[in-house]
A and B are shown apart, each in its own frame.
Chain A
Amino acid sequence: QQQVKQSPQSLIVQKGGISIINCAYENTAFDYFPWYQQFPGKGPALLIAIRPDVSEKKEGRFTISFNKSAKQFSLHIMDSQPGDSATYFCAASKDEGNKLVFGAGTILRVKS
């Protein structure tokens, strides 16, 4: 019940294309869903996050879509750029303790 399942493991997208990464969870107590971006040799950095009271959140080229009934959420990167090439982790947490449960990660490569 604590797992967050992330797919795909890796993704190759052409420059200018849309990158889509999906996550699914089981624990309905989760109420905070962040996405982290990690470059090689660096710590994860928060990209965008959503709470279950909204179905979509957009920040620049990055959008989270959230489907509460399906217990799924996804990250869309519009107009993908080579500089977006990184590993992306979805995560989930609940207020009590707020321990992040991470997905396994997606390695994104944007080809120029």
Chain B
Amino acid sequence: AQKVTQAQTEISVVEKEDVTLDCVYETRDTTYYLFWYKQPPSGELVFLIRRNSFDEQNEISGRYSWNFQKSTSSFNFTITASQVVDSAVYFCALSEASSGSARQLTFGSGTQLTVLP
């Protein structure tokens, strides 16, 4: 069975600090997909990134970067030079290829990030 663990329930940082959000996953599939979503106070879910299990290249997008390590089953997310607008709940999610045509996501419990001015 698939499982996603986000051990950090809440993180507070001061603006301009770097912050890393941890995500550890469990799956028996060799083919799977990992996602990060942002949920600001307004409630909508904003897609940030998708990574498949065969692509371990780290990715950088502006102030955001992701570190995927299959050896430790982790897919961590780093925000560089954080800003107040980054304050949100961040969810890591997993989708297994064996789920067939129903490509549902299993979400972690989320990490509430607060960036203080």
Q: Do A and B come from one complex?
A: no
